[in-house]
Amino acid sequence: MTDFTPDIERLKLLDDAEWLAVQRAYCGRLYAFAKRRIADRQGSEDVLQETWLGAVRGIGDFDTRYTFEQYLFGICRNRTIDALRRRKPRTLERGSEDDELPGIEMLATDVDTPSRILRREELGARARELLVAVLKEWVEETWTAGEFQRLMVFEALIGGGWRNRDAWKHFGLRDETAVAGIKFRALKRLRELAAVRESGGDLLMALERASEGEEHALDLDLRPVWSDGRVSCPSRHWLARLIAGNLDAGPAGFVRFHLDAMKCPWCRANHDDLVAADRNNALDPLIERVHKSTVHYLRSRTLP
């Protein structure tokens, strides 16, 4: 299954047909993302509408370092946060199945704490890019080797913030030492991969100290890097194969863990969209309303 790849240049030219194509391709997953967080249908539809208007307005500054899906989900997340801020605290579905919501609540209430600003400035844009790149390379390497338990353990520790004891018990490993060993070897390999891409620098030094077991050596706030960089997110066709029941046990176990234990909001939205087999017909009226609004904006920008 090949996901739709839009023509960014046509989108930048505000081409009506290309925008309709991307709306048909992405509305389902964006709406699924919003529905998990906004209690009522109208609120979810409003978020979707605002997402597309934001996408059209911002397409001229599209950053090619990211995928178009990341671009859309980033806007949708921000619009969702705005919607949650406007509502009373009771409208947040605390304690629901969407326990990934605390991450969004944190963003809504604590977007730029002084410590977060400091970490962001210290790490720097280049270091973040390097870290995302080597994490993705390590994930692909581990997946290809069929080491799915190792991948799940490291995702739990880095992406989920689990303690060694939590991971040891969850995965039925020998003891906490086994978990520490997985983390040690992963950090060592990350350092090696980073060294190939870039010599020197604070990131390499931190990875080296961490791989040697120094306490708190890797103070780089890896969790948002792991999440925002979507370093372990399976592509949409893996989700489709899981739903169809034709995915081997190893990758299926990881994909389920990523969805159910890590509760990745982006992949759960894609999963919800794929599960809704009748989504095209059901969403047609909504897509039509969204597109009418988009067309109105497009014409206001293109007509003399």
Instruction: Report, as an integer, the average pLDDT of 268-286.
Output: 76
Is position 73 within any domain? no
Is position 265 within any domain? no
Token readout for 253 is 């176990």
Task: Return the residue matching tokens 């080797």.
Answer: 145
Q: How would you label 252-285 residue by residue, b for 16+ Cβ within 10 Å and e otherwise?
A: bebbebbbeebbbbbbbbbbbbbeeeebeeebee
Is position 137 within any domain? yes
Domains held by the chain: number: 1
Let me know the angle formed at the C-alpha of 45 by 42 and 51, rounded to the nearest 5 degrees: 145
Q: Which domain does 141 fall in, by range?
A: 120-229
pLDDT at 264 over 90: yes
Is position 198 within any domain? yes
Is position 219 within any domain? yes
Q: How confident is the model at residue 7 (pLDDT cuts 50, 70, 90)?
A: very high
Task: Determine phi and psi for 55, rounding to 5 degrees.
Answer: -65, -40
Q: Is 211 helix (H, G, I), strand (E, B) or coil?
A: helix
Task: Return the residue matching tokens 């911002």.
Answer: 58
Cβ-based neighbours of 293, under 8 Å, separated by 6 or more: 49, 52, 53
Is position 33 within any domain? no
Is position 52 within any domain? no
Q: Model's pTM, two decimal places?
A: 0.72
Instruction: Report, as an integer, the average pLDDT of 114-133.
Output: 64
User: How far is residue 128 CA from its own chain's centroid?
Assistant: 15
Alpha-carbon separation of residue 217 from 116, 125, 258, 303 (angstroms): 17, 20, 27, 57
Is position 60 within any domain? no
pLDDT digits (tens, 9 = 90+) for 31-61: 999 998 887 889 999 999 999 999 999 999 9
pLDDT digits (tens, 9 = 90+) for 216-247: 444 456 788 898 889 999 999 999 999 999 99
